[in-house]
Chain A
């Protein structure tokens, strides 16, 4: 069964359409990613699914409940880890989780058991009694992930879970997220503007830009759109002649030359390299260096939007500034 079902979901702020008629479904247990630059509408989508914002129009169901009419039922079935920390700094880690558990109506014994369990999951047991204001950024994130799980939600929303964290902490959080999804069968909706994060974690990825989905598929299928890996060969001489020979090979999809370097597009490039080198030598050409590049989701993003994600972010920031000054609304 689908844990998330969204049809034509739209959110309009004054004259800005933040989310524009988005449609998708997420089956139970899937790890689904919303990938896009800041300002693409990812957080607005999450906020609507989490009942914090009312959709302008369209249908959205979470765990079988409609987000506008059955708010409490939706709220009971979801956990949310927000982009900015949403912790009470004057409470300890344990007190923050106690607060959460009581807000979700858990009884005393259940509370103690679950809180101990989630503290172990994120390795924060020895910091449970420390005030959150003394936590580092990574610890806060882990505490929030733990908190999102205390009430055993069916669906967990993670809004930019590793934003602003160092590489090591990010790896740790990725591990937690994978573990949750695999061992606890939690459906996870994750937003990110880190390509490698979406690639490493998600079963399926929607690429979002200007409030719309421009592509939606598994990371592998999305990258396949680009036609495969690029193997670059640097040769001594005779590049042009060699290029023609390569073009006659059926499994090379694209071939081009830049001075003495040949760029060849193919599937599973790493397995073709020996063959390519041998082929070149058979033609009497010496290969000086080989370079293999796997297409990343960044390339996919460029393919679908014509821009890099950073360029899009700069544009989005401009739009947000205009909106902020024009209407005094928080971005």
Chain B
């Protein structure tokens, strides 16, 4: 009955919020762009071991930076429960006669949509900078990976939000969860360049498979094979979303 309307209106709210926070859109696009621009152009002439040929670093970096953008935007979207708690709006949501699952679905749908918009914008800018997408099939496979990455980290954000209770731990999450996931994922360099001990952590990082999947779609280069990437990401996305939903349901709302 009203569950579908609730999912829709929560999604709509996330979109309107996103659209009306221009500075937030600019900020969320600007950081990945700076990474892409400065790192990509600065290191483009350098031979990074593990990347075929010279002058390909920018190409190598694009999928990584899209993964990074999705990691940040989606984790923040999941964590936005804390903002809503801080600014009171969470109570308005929680006191409504709507199943908690519908609330999680609506929020996640909103977070996915805004995250994907940012990812696609970034891909568009990369094309303007000279990045070439091989074809429609490649694009759709990449889009699928983008959805899986966004789902996984929306779920992670929701899990963290349920564990944290307020925004005080935000800096910790940023430094000890999000940045390590980013650096370990191979977004900026091939994972195999890392020492064996650290590489183990990379293999436990879902974003590693997401970025590898994006590379296999857009560059036709893959370290693990697209099948494994898909399997890990699909499993990770389901696991994190279910875990996030369960913890959200259990947490007290005031």
Contacts and interface: CB of A to CB of B under 8 A. Distances in A.
Q: What 5 pairs between A and B have smallest CB-CB spacing?
A: A105-B2, A75-B97, A86-B88, A103-B96, A102-B9
B17 interface: yes
A84 B88 contact: yes
Nearest to B12: A99
A131 B21 CA distance: 12
B254 interface: yes
A84 B87 CA distance: 8
A87 B88 contact: yes
B95 A330 contact: no
Contacts of A227: none
A103 B254 contact: no
A163 B94 CA distance: 23
B96 A104 contact: yes
A82 B97 contact: no
A323 interface: no
Interface stretch (A88-96, A179-187, A212-220, A270-278): A88-96
Interface string A115-132: 000000000000000010
Interface of A: 47, 50-54, 72-73, 75-76, 78, 80, 82, 84-91, 95, 98-100, 102-105, 131, 147, 330
A76 B97 contact: yes
Contact of A330 (B16, B20, B166): B166
Given A85-B87, A90-B17, A103-B97, 16 more contacts: A50-B95, A52-B94, A52-B253, A53-B254, A75-B97, A80-B95, A84-B88, A86-B89, A87-B89, A95-B16, A99-B13, A102-B6, A102-B9, A104-B96, A105-B6, A330-B166
A103 B88 contact: no
A80 B9 CA distance: 20
Nearest to A46: B254
Interface residues of B, number: 30
A80 B91 CA distance: 9
Given A47-B254, A102-B8, A82 B88 contact: yes
Which of B8, B20, B254 has the most A CB atoms < 10 Å from its CB?
B254
Contacts of A87: 88-89, 92
B199 interface: no
Contact of A75 (B12, B21, B90, B96): B96
A76 B97 CA distance: 6
Contacts of B96: 75, 100, 103-104
Contacts of B89: 86-88
Contacts of A89: 87
Contacts of A47: 254
Contacts of B98: 103
A53 B92 contact: no
B41 to A, nearest CB: 36
B93 interface: yes
Interface in B1-28: 1-2, 5-6, 8-9, 12-13, 16-17, 20-21
Nearest to B24: A90
21 contacts: A50-B95, A52-B94, A52-B95, A52-B252, A52-B254, A54-B252, A76-B97, A82-B88, A85-B88, A86-B89, A87-B88, A87-B89, A88-B92, A90-B17, A90-B21, A91-B16, A95-B16, A99-B9, A100-B92, A102-B6, A105-B2
Interface string B148-190: 0000000000000000011000000000000000000000000
A62 to B, nearest CB: 12
Contacts of B5: 102-103, 105
A75 B12 CA distance: 22
A89 B91 CA distance: 14
Contacts of B12: 99
A73 B17 CA distance: 30
A111 to B, nearest CB: 10
Contacts of B92: 82, 86-88, 100, 147
Interface-central residue, A53, A105, A330, by most chain B CB under 10 Å:
A105
Contacts of A53: 252, 254
Contacts of A52: 91, 94-95, 252-254
Nearest to B166: A330
B13 A103 contact: no
A82 B85 CA distance: 13
Given A98-B9, A102-B5, A102-B8, A82 B91 contact: yes
A98 B10 CA distance: 11
Contacts of B1: 105
Nearest to A131: B20
Contacts of B90: 86
Nearest to A87: B89
A86 B99 CA distance: 19
